[in-house]
Structure 1
Amino acid sequence: MSKPQIVCLQNTLKIFRFYAMFPEKDKELNPGKYHYVKFAILACFSSVVLIGSFLHLIKSVNANNYLSLDTDLIYTLSLGITFAFSIGFLYKTEALVEFFLFLSDFEEFGKPLDFDRDNTFYDRLSIYHYIYLETLVSGIVIISTYLNMNKCQKLNLEYGLDEICGLFSYTWMPFEIDYFPMRQIFLVVQLFGAHHFYMIAGMCAWFVFETVQHFRIRIRHVNFLFQEAIKEEDPQRCREKFNHAARYHASLLGLEDKMNGAFGTFMFTHMVITAPIIGVGVFAIVSGGSVSSFLVCLGWFGGLAMACFGGQWLQDECFAVGTDLYEADWLHCPEDIKKDIMIVIQRSWTPMYLRASSFGIMNYRMFLGVLKASYSYITLLTQT
């Protein structure tokens, strides 16, 4: 018997493997120690920029120096949360592999109509998203380094500070780094770390979005099979096809807990952290602060949009199963089939949800809620 292969999210998984966020091909079920060691080395190396920004934030607050508050806050929040949920993704690898294998298995329920076309479409979109993300992250890294150097020099002259200029972000370390070549080496490490973390954050958002789209493809296929079943004039054939579609439907709905177990923590952090990040980013532009902070805010806004819109579309697709069954011509079906149709319609009233753990559902309402919270943060920062 051939070994099961993951056929969906091909390009996205290649990128994730490059960033040590997913096991190598043919090793998904047994990644081995090398996978975790590689992740740990990259994570520790990349965390230097986070540590420097966090220590500088603490030092500035203790000294009542709030001149670079927006930059310190947005880097500490965005990089810290990315570090945390990248570990969470790694911890959930087994669950991710399990339902990717399910979505790639066509033996029991067959291949969805136009699966190859849709799969190719999302693979292509994944490349476009990667190009967009690489452009955005590179812009953040380059612009931040350039603008931070100029602003740092002006603040040092104007306020008599001793900030280390020429780095990606304002940084304080418990040892001396402001000399050649230590400062240059530290800058390279910072640039690598910021690029690494922000690429992971952006790709994780796309990862969730593309996974949800593949669930939608399967639910659409279930809907098609239900429609085909009730078109059958022969009662026995109708029963066989309907039972097949019902098992398919139940199998997909049974994956909701696994999906939210894998993505729930990431969605929760998106719900909680994106509001202050957007608030700080917009405040930075309004108050004449860091442009790079605003670019980080745009990245997180895009990630939130993908999660919330994807969750809403998944929910709508599940509702459509019941709606289309209700509107179909099933009056000719046997009485027992009619009863089962009513059960499926009733079950579709409780669709699959993309959840932020147990704290909410990622949909249009959540999107608007986070934007309202962001406005509250902007108002708070403006008044202080």
Structure 2
Amino acid sequence: MSFIYVKNGPKIVLLLEDLSNFNRFGRPPNYEERERILNHLSVCSFMFIAVGSFFYNMVKLYKRPECQRRNIEENLNEKCGIIAPVWFPFNIDYFPVFQLASMCMYTCTVLVTKSALVITYHVYEIAQYIVMRINHLNSMIVKCFDGDYESCRDNLRRCILYHAEIIELAANFDSQFSSCMFCHLTMTAAVCGCLEKQFIDGDKLCAGVHVVGWIIALLLACVAGQRLTDASESISQAIWMSKWYQADLRLKKDILFLLACSQKKLYITVGPFGVLSFELFVSVMKMSYSILCLLTS
């Protein structure tokens, strides 16, 4: 997943440059306010990863004596005090090997969870910027036919070009993140299933914090996809809300063209899974439950 994201990095940068270019159609209304909210959400997401991972590691270290005592009583070989279950071909329960192994596992865990969150939040953020452009287009369409023939024609032409640009941005967005999200959601189902098994086995606090983080990441992606699809369906409603019935007959043919183009839904595909949506969120949760059943059977 991370390799695909890095590989597509230059194209994603170009996509972000296109999203930040407002020379042709202007800046969407309330853009600065929405950008501020997205920036705050970004900070909160990364704080959750940092604090959650640190808390998870500290709890594991705190429970290390209890884990070592259980190993002796039940003749187990669990690596105690490590943030994630791992197997080593040698004994690590002495200084400084344990400290180095614990630090290494903690760093790897933070990097894996952080990369998953970065990709998911990037999908959410880009989807919101495209939705803002769609809402901007809708406001332009509603006011498109206020005026004489010449101004209405220019307004309609501008709306058609804006819509074509949005479709191109959404297609580019989908092509860059489809494979990433396929790997991400496949991994999410497996990770959630394993964490749920860990929760059932008694590690309720740490496993609960961890699984909540993965579910939030999954929900962010699915909300982004659902909002993009819903916003694309609102374009045809904006056309009907406009004063199209007052337009010149010569313009009504172009209105039909715009209405036909607006029937094309915009979405983010997830490989063979389908598209990002609330329905997919439920499907992944069902898949994680199936994995849990296999692990507990």
TM-score (norm 2): 0.91
Residues in 1 aligned to 2:246 and 2:65: alpha-carbon distance in whole angstroms: 77
Q: Does 1:228 align with 2:143?
A: yes
Query: Aligned pair 1:341/2:255, yes or no?
Result: yes
Aligned mates of 1:197, 1:129 — CA distance in 2: 14
User: What is the letter of the counterpart of residue 229 of structure 1?
Assistant: C
| Identity, % of aligned positions | 26
For the residue of structure 2 that corresponds to 1:307, the secondary structure is helix
Q: How many positions carry a matched residue from both structures?
A: 297
Contact 2:60 2:81 survives alignment (8 Å):
no
* C-alpha separation in 2, matches of 1:262 and 1:144: 38
Indicate the residue corresponding to 2:10 in structure 1.
94
Aligned to 2:244, what secondary structure does the other structure show? coil
Aligned to 1:201: 116
Q: Matches of 1:172 and 1:128 in 2, distance apart?
A: 33
Shift of residue 323 of structure 1? 1.2
Counterpart residue number, 2:40: 124
Q: How far apart, in 2, do the equivalents of 1:103 and 1:355 lie?
A: 20
Structure 2 counterpart of 1:330, from 229, 234, 244? 244
Write the distance in 2 (CA, Å) between the matches of 1:171 and 1:120: 40
- Which residue does 1:77 correspond to in 2? none
Distance in 2 (alpha carbons) for counterparts of 1:161 and 1:270? 33
Aligned amino acid, residue 94 of structure 2: Y
CA displacement at 1:110 relative to structure 2:
1.2
Give 3-state SS (helix, strand or coil) of 2:29's partner. coil
Does the aligned pair in 2 maintain the 1:230–1:333 contact within 8 Å? yes
**Alpha-carbon distance in structure 2 between the residues aligned to 1:242 and 1:135:** 51
TM-superposition CA deviations, 1:129-166 (whole Å, max 9, x none): 2223322232233223434x245313421232444433
Q: Deviation string for 1:34-60 (max 9, x for gaps)?
A: xxxxxxxxxxxxxxxxxxxxxxxxxxx
CA–CA separation in structure 2 for the residues paired with 1:281 and 1:165: 17
With over 3 angstroms needed to count, the CA separation of the structure-2 counterparts of 1:90 and 1:286, relative to structure 1, is same
The answer to whether the 8 Å contact 2:49/2:110 transfers is: no
| Correspondence list, 1:1-384, <5 A | 85-147=1-63, 149-150=64-65, 152-174=67-89, 177-231=92-146, 233-289=147-203, 291-382=205-296, 384=297
> Relative CO higher for 1 or 2, CA cutoff 8 Å, sep ≥ 6?
2
User: Which segments of 5 or more consecutive residues in structure 1 lack a partner in the other structure?
Assistant: 1-84
* Alpha-carbon separation, structure 1, partners of 2:289 and 2:98: 38
Query: Are the equivalent residues in 1 in contact too, given 2:139–2:238 (CA < 8 A)?
Result: no
How far residue 113 of structure 1 moved from its aligned partner, in angstroms, is 1.5
- Do the aligned partners of residues 124 and 163 (structure 1) sit closer, same or farther apart at CA in structure 2, a change above 3 Å counting? closer
Backbone CA RMSD of aligned residues: 2.1
Amino acid aligned to 2:83: F
Q: Are the equivalent residues in 1 in contact too, given 2:92–2:98 (CA < 8 A)?
A: yes
Shift of the 349–141 alpha-carbon distance from structure 1 to 2, 3 Å rule, reads: farther
Q: Which residue type is aligned with residue 20 of structure 2?
A: S
8 A contact 1:156–1:163 mirrored in 2: yes
Q: Distance in 2 between matches of 1:193 and 1:280?
A: 18
Residue identity opposite 1:114 in structure 2: N
Scaled by the length of structure 1, what TM-score is found? 0.72
Contact residue 137 and residue 163 of structure 2 kept, 8 A: yes
Q: CA separation of 1:150/1:235 partners in 2, compared to 1, >3 Å: closer, same or farther?
A: farther
Name the amino acid aligned to 2:4. G
CA distance in 1, matches of 2:66, 2:263: 55
**Equivalents in 1 of 2:89, 2:196: separation in Å?**
32
Report deviation, 1:90.
0.9
Mapped contact 1:145–1:169 kept (Cα < 8 A)? no
For residues 130 and 170 of structure 1, the distance between their equivalents in structure 2, rounded to whole angstroms, comes to: 23
- Residues 284 and 291, structure 1, Cα contact 8 Å, conserved in 2: no
Aligned amino acid, residue 200 of structure 1: S
DSSP 3-state at the match of 1:261? helix
Shift of 1:236: 1.1
